[in-house]
Chain A
Protein backbone atom coordinates (compact mmCIF):
# COMPACT_ATOMS: atom_id res chain seq x y z
CA UNK A 1 0.00 0.00 0.00
CA UNK A 2 3.02 2.27 0.11
CA UNK A 3 2.83 2.80 -3.63
CA UNK A 4 0.17 5.05 -5.08
CA UNK A 5 -2.82 2.71 -5.36
CA UNK A 6 -4.53 2.14 -8.65
CA UNK A 7 -8.03 0.90 -8.89
CA UNK A 8 -8.72 -1.07 -12.07
CA UNK A 9 -12.28 0.13 -12.43
CA UNK A 10 -13.12 -2.28 -15.27
CA UNK A 11 -11.96 -5.30 -13.30
CA UNK A 12 -13.65 -4.24 -10.08
CA UNK A 13 -16.94 -3.34 -11.78
CA UNK A 14 -16.80 -6.75 -13.46
CA UNK A 15 -16.34 -8.46 -10.08
CA UNK A 16 -19.16 -6.39 -8.57
CA UNK A 17 -21.44 -7.03 -11.56
CA UNK A 18 -22.36 -3.39 -12.08
CA UNK A 19 -22.65 -1.82 -15.52
CA UNK A 20 -21.01 1.60 -15.74
CA UNK A 21 -20.85 4.11 -18.55
CA UNK A 22 -17.44 5.37 -19.65
CA UNK A 23 -18.20 8.68 -17.97
CA UNK A 24 -19.09 6.94 -14.70
CA UNK A 25 -15.96 4.84 -14.84
CA UNK A 26 -13.79 7.92 -15.24
CA UNK A 27 -15.57 9.81 -12.48
CA UNK A 28 -15.56 6.97 -9.95
CA UNK A 29 -11.95 6.12 -10.69
CA UNK A 30 -10.95 9.72 -10.02
CA UNK A 31 -13.00 10.07 -6.84
CA UNK A 32 -11.92 6.72 -5.48
CA UNK A 33 -8.24 7.26 -6.17
CA UNK A 34 -8.47 10.31 -3.90
CA UNK A 35 -10.14 8.19 -1.23
CA UNK A 36 -7.53 5.45 -1.63
CA UNK A 37 -4.85 8.10 -1.34
CA UNK A 38 -6.30 9.04 2.01
CA UNK A 39 -6.34 5.39 3.09
CA UNK A 40 -2.57 5.32 2.58
CA UNK A 41 -2.21 6.52 6.17
CA UNK A 42 -2.91 2.98 7.38
CA UNK A 43 0.18 1.62 5.66
CA UNK A 44 2.38 3.43 8.16
CA UNK A 45 0.62 1.95 11.20
CA UNK A 46 2.55 -0.76 13.01
CA UNK A 47 0.15 -3.67 13.38
CA UNK A 48 2.78 -6.32 13.96
CA UNK A 49 1.27 -9.00 16.19
CA UNK A 50 -2.11 -7.26 16.39
CA UNK A 51 -5.09 -9.59 16.12
CA UNK A 52 -7.68 -8.51 13.54
CA UNK A 53 -11.13 -7.53 14.79
CA UNK A 54 -13.82 -9.27 12.77
CA UNK A 55 -16.54 -8.85 15.38
CA UNK A 56 -17.05 -5.78 17.56
CA UNK A 57 -17.94 -7.91 20.59
CA UNK A 58 -16.91 -11.44 19.74
CA UNK A 59 -18.80 -14.20 21.45
CA UNK A 60 -18.31 -17.89 20.84
CA UNK A 61 -20.31 -21.02 20.20
CA UNK A 62 -23.54 -19.42 19.06
CA UNK A 63 -25.39 -22.40 17.61
CA UNK A 64 -28.93 -23.70 17.38
CA UNK A 65 -30.30 -27.19 17.78
CA UNK A 66 -31.11 -29.09 14.59
CA UNK A 67 -34.87 -28.66 14.62
CA UNK A 68 -36.79 -27.97 11.42
CA UNK A 69 -39.60 -25.42 11.29
CA UNK A 70 -41.75 -24.91 8.21
CA UNK A 71 -40.82 -21.68 6.45
CA UNK A 72 -42.40 -19.72 3.65
CA UNK A 73 -45.13 -21.24 1.49
CA UNK A 74 -44.11 -21.29 -2.16
CA UNK A 75 -46.21 -18.26 -3.16
CA UNK A 76 -44.79 -16.19 -0.28
CA UNK A 77 -41.23 -17.21 -1.15
CA UNK A 78 -41.79 -16.05 -4.72
CA UNK A 79 -44.07 -13.07 -4.13
CA UNK A 80 -41.40 -10.58 -5.18
CA UNK A 81 -39.94 -12.64 -8.02
CA UNK A 82 -39.65 -10.68 -11.28
CA UNK A 83 -40.62 -13.80 -13.23
CA UNK A 84 -41.76 -17.26 -12.22
CA UNK A 85 -43.01 -20.47 -13.79
CA UNK A 86 -44.61 -23.43 -12.01
CA UNK A 87 -43.17 -22.50 -8.65
CA UNK A 88 -39.66 -21.77 -9.87
CA UNK A 89 -37.81 -18.52 -10.48
CA UNK A 90 -37.26 -17.85 -14.18
CA UNK A 91 -33.94 -16.41 -15.34
CA UNK A 92 -32.43 -15.99 -18.79
CA UNK A 93 -30.71 -19.17 -19.93
CA UNK A 94 -27.61 -19.98 -17.92
CA UNK A 95 -24.90 -21.64 -19.96
CA UNK A 96 -22.67 -23.89 -17.88
Chain B
Protein backbone atom coordinates (compact mmCIF):
# COMPACT_ATOMS: atom_id res chain seq x y z
CA UNK B 1 0.00 0.00 0.00
CA UNK B 2 2.74 2.42 0.98
CA UNK B 3 4.64 2.32 -2.29
CA UNK B 4 1.39 2.20 -4.26
CA UNK B 5 0.28 5.43 -2.70
CA UNK B 6 3.54 7.15 -3.48
CA UNK B 7 3.36 6.05 -7.10
CA UNK B 8 -0.25 7.07 -7.49
CA UNK B 9 -1.52 9.74 -9.79
CA UNK B 10 -3.64 12.56 -8.47
CA UNK B 11 -6.74 10.75 -9.68
CA UNK B 12 -5.82 7.63 -7.70
CA UNK B 13 -5.10 9.68 -4.59
CA UNK B 14 -8.45 11.46 -4.96
CA UNK B 15 -10.19 8.06 -5.01
CA UNK B 16 -8.29 6.93 -1.92
CA UNK B 17 -9.33 10.04 0.01
CA UNK B 18 -12.91 9.80 -1.22
CA UNK B 19 -13.15 6.16 -0.16
CA UNK B 20 -12.07 7.10 3.35
CA UNK B 21 -9.33 4.45 3.27
CA UNK B 22 -6.77 7.11 4.12
CA UNK B 23 -7.03 10.57 5.58
CA UNK B 24 -5.19 13.50 4.12
CA UNK B 25 -2.97 13.53 7.20
CA UNK B 26 -2.07 9.85 6.69
CA UNK B 27 -1.51 10.35 3.01
CA UNK B 28 0.68 13.41 3.46
CA UNK B 29 2.52 11.77 6.35
CA UNK B 30 3.61 9.03 3.96
CA UNK B 31 4.94 11.53 1.46
CA UNK B 32 6.69 13.45 4.24
CA UNK B 33 8.24 10.24 5.59
CA UNK B 34 9.45 9.36 2.10
CA UNK B 35 10.96 12.82 1.70
CA UNK B 36 12.66 12.67 5.10
CA UNK B 37 14.12 9.28 4.26
CA UNK B 38 15.44 10.11 0.81
CA UNK B 39 15.80 13.86 0.38
CA UNK B 40 19.43 13.70 1.47
CA UNK B 41 20.16 11.58 -1.64
CA UNK B 42 18.30 13.85 -4.03
CA UNK B 43 18.24 17.26 -2.36
CA UNK B 44 15.01 18.11 -4.14
CA UNK B 45 13.87 20.19 -1.18
CA UNK B 46 15.88 23.05 0.31
CA UNK B 47 13.73 22.76 3.41
CA UNK B 48 10.67 20.77 4.43
CA UNK B 49 8.17 22.44 6.73
CA UNK B 50 6.46 19.37 8.12
CA UNK B 51 4.20 21.30 10.47
CA UNK B 52 3.01 23.52 7.64
CA UNK B 53 2.21 20.45 5.50
CA UNK B 54 0.41 18.47 8.16
CA UNK B 55 -1.60 21.46 9.40
CA UNK B 56 -2.98 21.89 5.90
CA UNK B 57 -3.73 18.15 5.71
CA UNK B 58 -5.49 18.30 9.07
CA UNK B 59 -7.60 21.22 7.94
CA UNK B 60 -8.52 19.26 4.83
CA UNK B 61 -9.59 16.25 6.91
CA UNK B 62 -11.73 18.53 9.03
CA UNK B 63 -13.40 19.89 5.92
CA UNK B 64 -13.98 16.36 4.72
CA UNK B 65 -15.62 15.33 7.98
CA UNK B 66 -17.84 18.38 7.94
CA UNK B 67 -18.68 17.92 4.23
CA UNK B 68 -17.24 21.30 3.33
CA UNK B 69 -14.52 20.25 0.90
CA UNK B 70 -13.20 23.06 -1.24
CA UNK B 71 -12.78 20.90 -4.35
CA UNK B 72 -12.15 17.34 -5.49
CA UNK B 73 -8.42 18.07 -5.02
CA UNK B 74 -8.81 18.98 -1.35
CA UNK B 75 -6.07 17.29 0.65
CA UNK B 76 -3.88 16.36 -2.35
CA UNK B 77 -0.18 17.30 -2.08
CA UNK B 78 1.57 19.64 -4.50
CA UNK B 79 5.12 20.94 -4.14
CA UNK B 80 6.10 24.48 -5.10
CA UNK B 81 9.36 25.71 -6.56
CA UNK B 82 11.00 28.04 -4.09
CA UNK B 83 10.67 31.07 -6.32
CA UNK B 84 6.88 31.18 -5.93
CA UNK B 85 5.63 33.07 -2.88
CA UNK B 86 3.75 31.30 -0.09
CA UNK B 87 2.77 33.55 2.79
CA UNK B 88 4.94 33.12 5.88
CA UNK B 89 7.17 30.57 4.16
CA UNK B 90 10.78 31.18 3.20
CA UNK B 91 11.23 32.29 -0.40
CA UNK B 92 14.92 31.67 -1.07
CA UNK B 93 15.04 31.36 -4.86
CA UNK B 94 18.01 29.07 -4.20
CA UNK B 95 20.06 32.13 -3.27
CA UNK B 96 22.14 33.18 -0.30
CA UNK B 97 20.85 36.72 -0.66
CA UNK B 98 17.29 35.57 0.13
CA UNK B 99 18.30 32.76 2.48
CA UNK B 100 16.21 34.07 5.36
CA UNK B 101 13.55 35.96 3.44
CA UNK B 102 10.01 35.10 4.55
CA UNK B 103 7.26 36.08 2.14
CA UNK B 104 4.57 38.38 3.56
CA UNK B 105 2.17 37.43 0.76
CA UNK B 106 0.88 34.63 -1.47
CA UNK B 107 1.49 34.32 -5.18
CA UNK B 108 -1.71 34.16 -7.23
CA UNK B 109 -1.10 30.49 -8.09
CA UNK B 110 -0.58 29.80 -4.38
CA UNK B 111 -3.89 31.45 -3.57
CA UNK B 112 -5.61 29.40 -6.24
CA UNK B 113 -4.18 26.11 -5.00
CA UNK B 114 -5.14 27.01 -1.43
CA UNK B 115 -8.67 27.79 -2.60
CA UNK B 116 -8.84 24.20 -3.90
CA UNK B 117 -7.68 22.88 -0.53
CA UNK B 118 -4.49 21.38 -1.94
CA UNK B 119 -1.68 20.73 0.52
CA UNK B 120 1.33 22.86 -0.36
CA UNK B 121 4.90 21.68 0.12
CA UNK B 122 7.27 24.63 0.07
CA UNK B 123 11.00 24.74 -0.50
CA UNK B 124 11.71 22.96 -3.82
CA UNK B 125 15.31 23.36 -4.85
CA UNK B 126 16.25 25.26 -7.99
CA UNK B 127 19.08 26.95 -9.79
CA UNK B 128 19.75 30.26 -8.11
CA UNK B 129 17.06 32.68 -9.33
CA UNK B 130 16.16 30.03 -11.93
CA UNK B 131 19.36 30.73 -13.84
CA UNK B 132 20.74 27.45 -15.03
CA UNK B 133 19.80 24.12 -16.52
CA UNK B 134 21.36 21.79 -13.96
CA UNK B 135 20.11 22.88 -10.49
CA UNK B 136 23.75 23.04 -9.54
CA UNK B 137 23.81 26.80 -9.03
CA UNK B 138 21.57 26.54 -5.95
CA UNK B 139 23.21 28.04 -2.87
CA UNK B 140 21.72 25.10 -0.98
CA UNK B 141 23.55 22.43 -2.94
CA UNK B 142 22.87 20.66 -6.22
CA UNK B 143 19.85 18.46 -6.74
CA UNK B 144 20.49 14.95 -8.05
CA UNK B 145 18.57 13.02 -10.65
CA UNK B 146 16.56 10.30 -8.91
CA UNK B 147 17.24 7.96 -11.86
CA UNK B 148 20.96 8.28 -11.37
CA UNK B 149 22.24 10.49 -8.60
CA UNK B 150 25.49 11.12 -10.47
CA UNK B 151 23.39 12.97 -13.01
CA UNK B 152 21.70 16.34 -13.04
CA UNK B 153 17.91 16.48 -12.81
CA UNK B 154 18.02 19.36 -15.27
CA UNK B 155 17.12 22.88 -14.33
CA UNK B 156 16.27 25.32 -13.25
CA UNK B 157 13.21 23.49 -11.85
CA UNK B 158 15.35 20.49 -10.89
CA UNK B 159 13.74 20.24 -7.47
CA UNK B 160 10.32 20.24 -9.10
CA UNK B 161 11.20 17.43 -11.54
CA UNK B 162 13.26 15.36 -9.09
CA UNK B 163 10.58 15.55 -6.40
CA UNK B 164 7.94 14.18 -8.75
CA UNK B 165 10.26 11.54 -10.22
CA UNK B 166 11.34 10.44 -6.73
CA UNK B 167 7.69 10.24 -5.68
CA UNK B 168 8.22 12.84 -2.98
CA UNK B 169 5.02 14.44 -4.26
CA UNK B 170 2.57 13.48 -6.99
CA UNK B 171 2.81 16.83 -8.75
CA UNK B 172 4.74 20.07 -8.51
CA UNK B 173 4.96 23.58 -9.90
CA UNK B 174 8.02 24.92 -11.64
CA UNK B 175 8.83 28.00 -13.65
CA UNK B 176 10.08 28.11 -17.22
CA UNK B 177 12.05 31.02 -18.68
CA UNK B 178 14.03 29.18 -21.33
CA UNK B 179 13.10 25.56 -20.77
CA UNK B 180 13.28 25.35 -17.00
CA UNK B 181 10.18 23.14 -16.68
CA UNK B 182 10.44 21.12 -19.87
CA UNK B 183 14.13 20.20 -19.76
CA UNK B 184 14.11 19.00 -16.12
CA UNK B 185 10.87 17.19 -16.91
CA UNK B 186 12.71 15.45 -19.77
CA UNK B 187 15.74 14.61 -17.63
CA UNK B 188 13.59 13.11 -14.88
CA UNK B 189 11.01 11.29 -17.02
CA UNK B 190 8.00 13.38 -16.04
CA UNK B 191 5.67 15.70 -17.92
CA UNK B 192 6.60 19.37 -17.84
CA UNK B 193 4.23 22.01 -19.17
CA UNK B 194 5.11 25.60 -19.95
CA UNK B 195 1.82 27.36 -20.63
CA UNK B 196 1.35 30.23 -23.10
CA UNK B 197 2.84 33.49 -21.82
CA UNK B 198 -0.10 35.24 -20.15
CA UNK B 199 -1.99 32.02 -19.38
CA UNK B 200 -0.85 31.69 -15.74
CA UNK B 201 -0.39 34.71 -13.48
CA UNK B 202 3.22 35.61 -12.69
CA UNK B 203 2.21 37.55 -9.59
CA UNK B 204 4.32 36.09 -6.80
CA UNK B 205 6.78 34.34 -9.11
CA UNK B 206 10.15 35.93 -8.42
CA UNK B 207 11.06 37.36 -11.80
CA UNK B 208 14.08 36.14 -13.70
CA UNK B 209 13.16 37.46 -17.16
CA UNK B 210 9.70 38.95 -16.96
CA UNK B 211 8.82 38.73 -20.66
CA UNK B 212 9.72 35.02 -20.75
CA UNK B 213 8.80 33.57 -17.33
CA UNK B 214 5.81 31.33 -16.93
CA UNK B 215 4.66 28.96 -14.16
CA UNK B 216 3.60 25.42 -15.01
CA UNK B 217 3.09 21.91 -13.61
CA UNK B 218 5.31 18.81 -13.63
CA UNK B 219 3.46 15.52 -13.25
CA UNK B 220 3.29 11.77 -13.78
CA UNK B 221 0.43 11.90 -16.20
CA UNK B 222 -1.23 14.11 -18.78
CA UNK B 223 -4.39 14.07 -16.71
CA UNK B 224 -2.58 15.40 -13.62
CA UNK B 225 -1.05 18.12 -15.74
CA UNK B 226 -4.49 19.11 -17.03
CA UNK B 227 -5.95 19.16 -13.52
CA UNK B 228 -3.33 21.55 -12.24
CA UNK B 229 -3.52 23.75 -15.33
CA UNK B 230 -7.28 24.02 -14.85
CA UNK B 231 -6.61 25.52 -11.42
CA UNK B 232 -3.74 27.86 -12.12
CA UNK B 233 -4.72 29.19 -15.56
CA UNK B 234 -6.84 32.30 -15.95
CA UNK B 235 -6.86 36.04 -15.68
CA UNK B 236 -5.31 37.85 -12.72
CA UNK B 237 -5.76 41.58 -12.35
CA UNK B 238 -2.46 41.81 -10.46
CA UNK B 239 -0.48 40.69 -13.53
CA UNK B 240 -0.78 43.11 -16.47
CA UNK B 241 0.48 40.46 -18.89
CA UNK B 242 -2.29 38.08 -17.84
CA UNK B 243 -4.83 37.18 -20.53
CA UNK B 244 -8.59 36.91 -20.12
CA UNK B 245 -9.70 33.56 -18.78
CA UNK B 246 -10.48 31.07 -21.55
CA UNK B 247 -13.70 29.13 -21.50
CA UNK B 248 -12.08 25.72 -21.49
CA UNK B 249 -11.66 22.74 -19.16
CA UNK B 250 -8.48 20.87 -19.98
CA UNK B 251 -9.46 17.75 -18.09
CA UNK B 252 -12.61 17.51 -20.22
CA UNK B 253 -10.60 18.17 -23.39
CA UNK B 254 -8.47 15.05 -22.99
CA UNK B 255 -11.33 12.64 -22.27
CA UNK B 256 -12.27 11.56 -25.75
CA UNK B 257 -9.47 11.39 -28.31
CA UNK B 258 -10.97 8.88 -30.71
CA UNK B 259 -11.24 11.36 -33.54
CA UNK B 260 -8.35 13.58 -32.56
CA UNK B 261 -5.61 13.44 -35.20
CA UNK B 262 -3.50 16.61 -35.06
CA UNK B 263 -1.33 17.82 -37.92
CA UNK B 264 2.26 17.75 -36.67
CA UNK B 265 5.19 19.74 -38.04
CA UNK B 266 8.79 18.57 -37.74
CA UNK B 267 11.18 21.54 -37.97
CA UNK B 268 14.29 20.54 -39.89
CA UNK B 269 16.45 23.13 -38.10
CA UNK B 270 16.04 21.29 -34.79
CA UNK B 271 17.25 18.04 -36.27
CA UNK B 272 20.29 19.60 -37.87
CA UNK B 273 21.85 19.81 -34.43
CA UNK B 274 23.94 17.16 -32.74
CA UNK B 275 21.40 14.98 -31.01
CA UNK B 276 22.33 12.04 -28.86
CA UNK B 277 21.73 8.90 -31.00
CA UNK B 278 19.51 7.24 -28.43
CA UNK B 279 17.46 10.39 -28.06
CA UNK B 280 17.17 10.73 -31.85
CA UNK B 281 16.03 7.14 -32.14
CA UNK B 282 13.35 7.66 -29.50
CA UNK B 283 12.05 10.73 -31.34
CA UNK B 284 11.89 8.76 -34.59
CA UNK B 285 9.78 6.17 -32.80
CA UNK B 286 7.46 8.89 -31.53
CA UNK B 287 7.07 10.33 -35.02
CA UNK B 288 6.33 6.86 -36.37
CA UNK B 289 3.77 6.37 -33.63
CA UNK B 290 1.84 9.49 -34.63
CA UNK B 291 2.04 8.55 -38.30
CA UNK B 292 0.72 5.10 -37.49
CA UNK B 293 -2.08 6.72 -35.52
CA UNK B 294 -3.08 8.51 -38.68
CA UNK B 295 -1.78 11.96 -37.84
CA UNK B 296 -0.50 14.09 -40.67
CA UNK B 297 3.22 14.63 -40.06
CA UNK B 298 5.09 17.07 -42.27
CA UNK B 299 8.46 18.76 -42.45
CA UNK B 300 8.44 22.44 -41.70
CA UNK B 301 11.00 25.20 -41.41
CA UNK B 302 11.66 27.64 -38.58
CA UNK B 303 14.52 29.48 -40.28
CA UNK B 304 15.58 31.75 -37.43
CA UNK B 305 15.92 28.97 -34.87
CA UNK B 306 19.68 29.24 -34.62
CA UNK B 307 19.46 32.90 -33.65
CA UNK B 308 17.32 32.06 -30.64
CA UNK B 309 20.20 31.33 -28.31
CA UNK B 310 21.92 34.71 -28.66
CA UNK B 311 18.59 36.50 -28.67
CA UNK B 312 17.46 34.71 -25.56
CA UNK B 313 20.62 35.23 -23.55
CA UNK B 314 20.69 38.94 -24.31
CA UNK B 315 17.03 39.54 -23.45
CA UNK B 316 16.94 37.21 -20.46
CA UNK B 317 20.10 38.57 -18.88
CA UNK B 318 19.10 42.18 -19.56
CA UNK B 319 15.76 41.68 -17.86
CA UNK B 320 17.42 39.71 -15.07
CA UNK B 321 19.93 42.48 -14.39
CA UNK B 322 16.96 44.79 -13.93
CA UNK B 323 14.80 42.38 -11.91
CA UNK B 324 17.62 41.48 -9.54
CA UNK B 325 18.53 45.09 -8.78
CA UNK B 326 16.09 45.04 -5.86
CA UNK B 327 18.23 42.54 -3.96
CA UNK B 328 20.47 45.11 -2.40
CA UNK B 329 20.92 44.57 1.33
CA UNK B 330 18.57 47.41 2.23
CA UNK B 331 14.98 46.30 2.93
CA UNK B 332 14.73 42.54 3.18
CA UNK B 333 17.76 40.67 1.85
CA UNK B 334 21.05 39.58 3.28
CA UNK B 335 23.09 42.65 4.28
CA UNK B 336 26.83 42.23 4.44
CA UNK B 337 28.14 42.46 7.98
CA UNK B 338 31.29 44.03 6.59
CA UNK B 339 29.56 46.99 5.00
CA UNK B 340 30.57 50.29 6.57
CA UNK B 341 28.85 52.67 4.19
CA UNK B 342 26.01 52.69 1.73
CA UNK B 343 28.13 51.78 -1.30
CA UNK B 344 29.65 48.83 0.54
CA UNK B 345 26.17 47.73 1.50
CA UNK B 346 25.28 47.38 -2.15
CA UNK B 347 28.53 45.99 -3.45
CA UNK B 348 29.26 43.55 -0.65
CA UNK B 349 25.73 42.37 0.01
CA UNK B 350 25.28 41.60 -3.67
CA UNK B 351 28.83 40.29 -4.07
CA UNK B 352 28.34 37.89 -1.17
CA UNK B 353 24.70 37.18 -1.86
CA UNK B 354 24.81 36.19 -5.53
CA UNK B 355 26.43 33.00 -6.76
CA UNK B 356 28.67 32.71 -9.78
CA UNK B 357 26.10 32.08 -12.52
CA UNK B 358 23.80 34.84 -11.29
CA UNK B 359 26.71 37.28 -11.09
CA UNK B 360 27.81 36.34 -14.59
CA UNK B 361 24.33 36.90 -16.01
CA UNK B 362 23.74 40.16 -14.15
CA UNK B 363 27.04 41.42 -15.51
CA UNK B 364 26.14 40.30 -19.03
CA UNK B 365 22.67 41.83 -18.85
CA UNK B 366 23.94 45.09 -17.39
CA UNK B 367 26.41 45.28 -20.25
CA UNK B 368 23.69 44.59 -22.86
CA UNK B 369 21.67 47.55 -21.55
CA UNK B 370 24.55 49.92 -20.94
CA UNK B 371 25.16 53.12 -22.78
CA UNK B 372 26.83 52.50 -26.13
CA UNK B 373 25.87 48.82 -26.34
CA UNK B 374 22.12 49.01 -25.81
CA UNK B 375 21.23 49.20 -29.51
CA UNK B 376 23.66 46.58 -30.72
CA UNK B 377 22.63 44.04 -28.12
CA UNK B 378 19.33 44.62 -26.38
CA UNK B 379 17.44 46.46 -29.13
CA UNK B 380 18.81 44.16 -31.80
CA UNK B 381 17.78 41.07 -29.84
CA UNK B 382 14.26 42.43 -29.44
CA UNK B 383 13.99 42.72 -33.22
CA UNK B 384 15.36 39.27 -33.88
CA UNK B 385 12.83 38.04 -31.34
CA UNK B 386 10.13 39.32 -33.65
CA UNK B 387 11.58 37.22 -36.49
CA UNK B 388 11.52 34.12 -34.30
CA UNK B 389 7.88 34.74 -33.37
CA UNK B 390 6.96 35.16 -37.02
CA UNK B 391 8.59 31.81 -37.89
CA UNK B 392 6.13 30.05 -35.62
CA UNK B 393 3.17 32.13 -36.74
CA UNK B 394 3.88 31.16 -40.33
CA UNK B 395 4.41 27.49 -39.44
CA UNK B 396 1.15 27.29 -37.52
CA UNK B 397 -0.85 28.39 -40.54
CA UNK B 398 -1.21 24.74 -41.57
CA UNK B 399 -0.20 22.59 -38.63
CA UNK B 400 -1.56 22.16 -35.09
CA UNK B 401 1.67 21.33 -33.33
CA UNK B 402 5.43 21.30 -33.68
CA UNK B 403 7.32 18.25 -32.45
CA UNK B 404 10.99 18.46 -31.44
CA UNK B 405 13.43 16.89 -29.02
CA UNK B 406 13.25 18.59 -25.60
CA UNK B 407 17.03 18.55 -25.16
CA UNK B 408 19.93 17.37 -27.32
CA UNK B 409 20.97 14.77 -24.73
CA UNK B 410 19.59 12.85 -21.78
CA UNK B 411 20.55 14.04 -18.30
CA UNK B 412 24.18 15.04 -18.17
CA UNK B 413 26.65 14.35 -15.43
CA UNK B 414 26.82 16.86 -12.64
CA UNK B 415 29.71 19.25 -13.00
CA UNK B 416 29.99 18.90 -16.78
CA UNK B 417 31.08 22.09 -18.53
CA UNK B 418 31.25 23.93 -15.23
CA UNK B 419 33.84 26.32 -16.64
CA UNK B 420 32.21 26.89 -19.98
CA UNK B 421 28.90 28.66 -19.60
CA UNK B 422 28.41 28.78 -23.37
CA UNK B 423 28.40 24.97 -23.62
CA UNK B 424 25.76 24.83 -20.89
CA UNK B 425 23.70 27.53 -22.62
CA UNK B 426 23.76 25.54 -25.87
CA UNK B 427 21.76 22.77 -24.18
CA UNK B 428 18.74 25.07 -24.10
CA UNK B 429 18.61 25.42 -27.87
CA UNK B 430 15.34 23.48 -28.33
CA UNK B 431 13.36 25.03 -25.53
CA UNK B 432 14.19 28.74 -25.68
CA UNK B 433 12.50 29.61 -29.00
CA UNK B 434 9.21 28.67 -27.34
CA UNK B 435 9.74 31.26 -24.57
CA UNK B 436 10.86 33.93 -27.02
CA UNK B 437 7.66 33.42 -29.00
CA UNK B 438 5.54 33.10 -25.83
CA UNK B 439 4.09 29.76 -26.98
CA UNK B 440 3.00 26.78 -24.86
CA UNK B 441 5.27 23.73 -24.77
CA UNK B 442 5.14 20.31 -23.15
CA UNK B 443 7.85 17.73 -22.59
CA UNK B 444 6.61 14.17 -22.80
CA UNK B 445 8.45 11.08 -21.47
CA UNK B 446 9.12 8.65 -24.34
CA UNK B 447 11.56 6.02 -23.20
CA UNK B 448 14.90 5.36 -21.59
CA UNK B 449 18.50 5.06 -22.65
CA UNK B 450 20.24 1.74 -22.22
CA UNK B 451 21.72 3.08 -19.01
CA UNK B 452 18.25 3.87 -17.73
CA UNK B 453 18.09 7.65 -18.26
CA UNK B 454 14.71 9.09 -19.28
CA UNK B 455 14.14 10.38 -22.82
CA UNK B 456 11.62 12.94 -23.92
CA UNK B 457 10.13 14.92 -26.78
CA UNK B 458 8.67 18.37 -26.87
CA UNK B 459 5.36 19.50 -28.29
CA UNK B 460 4.77 23.16 -29.15
CA UNK B 461 1.30 24.57 -29.86
CA UNK B 462 -0.06 27.93 -31.05
CA UNK B 463 -0.95 30.59 -28.47
CA UNK B 464 -3.45 29.39 -25.87
CA UNK B 465 -3.81 25.99 -27.52
CA UNK B 466 -2.60 23.97 -24.55
CA UNK B 467 -5.34 21.45 -25.26
CA UNK B 468 -3.43 20.37 -28.38
CA UNK B 469 -0.38 19.63 -26.27
CA UNK B 470 -2.30 17.63 -23.71
CA UNK B 471 -4.41 15.70 -26.21
CA UNK B 472 -1.47 14.85 -28.44
CA UNK B 473 0.59 13.74 -25.46
CA UNK B 474 -2.35 11.70 -24.20
CA UNK B 475 -2.56 9.83 -27.49
CA UNK B 476 1.03 8.70 -26.89
CA UNK B 477 0.59 8.08 -23.19
CA UNK B 478 -2.43 5.82 -23.76
CA UNK B 479 -0.29 3.57 -25.93
CA UNK B 480 2.85 3.52 -23.76
CA UNK B 481 3.92 2.91 -20.22
CA UNK B 482 6.99 5.13 -19.82
CA UNK B 483 5.26 7.54 -17.52
CA UNK B 484 4.44 4.78 -15.03
CA UNK B 485 8.05 3.79 -14.49
CA UNK B 486 9.84 5.21 -11.52
CA UNK B 487 13.29 5.15 -10.01
CA UNK B 488 13.99 2.74 -7.16
CA UNK B 489 14.52 3.98 -3.63
Taking Cβ atoms with an 8 Å cutoff, the residues of A that contact B are 1, 5, 7, 9, 11-13, 15-20, 24, 28, 31-32, 34-35, 38-39, 41-43, 45, 47, 50-57, 59, 62, 64, 72, 76-77, 79-83, 89, 91-95
**Docked CA distance A47–B377 (Å):** 13
Contact status A18-B310, CB under 8 Å: no
- Most chain B Cβ neighbours within 10 Å, of A47, A53, A54: A53
Nearest chain B CB to A30's CB is how many angstroms away? Answer: 10
Among candidates B212, B241, B310, B363, residue contacting A39 with C-beta atoms closer than 8 Å: B310
Which residues from A are CB-within-8-Å of B81? none
Is B124's beta carbon under 8 Å from chain A?
no
**Docked CA distance A80–B313 (Å):** 32
Chain B, 239-298, CB within 8 A of any chain A CB: 240-241, 243
Contact status B198-A39, CB under 8 Å: no
Which residues from B are CB-within-8-Å of A77? 104
Contact status A53-B307, CB under 8 Å: no
**Docked CA distance A7–B373 (Å):** 10
**Docked CA distance A16–B330 (Å):** 15
Nearest chain A CB to B137's CB is how many angstroms away? Answer: 14
Nearest chain A CB to B437's CB is how many angstroms away? Answer: 7
Among candidates B212, B351, B367, residue contacting A18 with C-beta atoms closer than 8 Å: B351
Contact status A57-B196, CB under 8 Å: yes
25 of the cross-chain contacts (CB-CB < 8 Å) are: A17-B325, A18-B351, A18-B354, A20-B359, A28-B360, A31-B360, A35-B425, A39-B313, A42-B307, A43-B376, A45-B307, A45-B380, A53-B383, A54-B211, A56-B197, A56-B438, A57-B198, A57-B463, A59-B241, A62-B241, A77-B104, A79-B102, A82-B333, A92-B345, A93-B342
Nearest chain B CB to A4's CB is how many angstroms away? Answer: 13
The 5 tightest CB contacts between A and B, nearest first, are A56-B438, A19-B351, A80-B332, A52-B382, A82-B335
Which residues from B are CB-within-8-Å of A42? 307, 310-311, 314, 377, 380-381, 384
- Whether A52 touches B196, Cβ cut-off 8 Å, given contacts A42-B380, A76-B104, is no
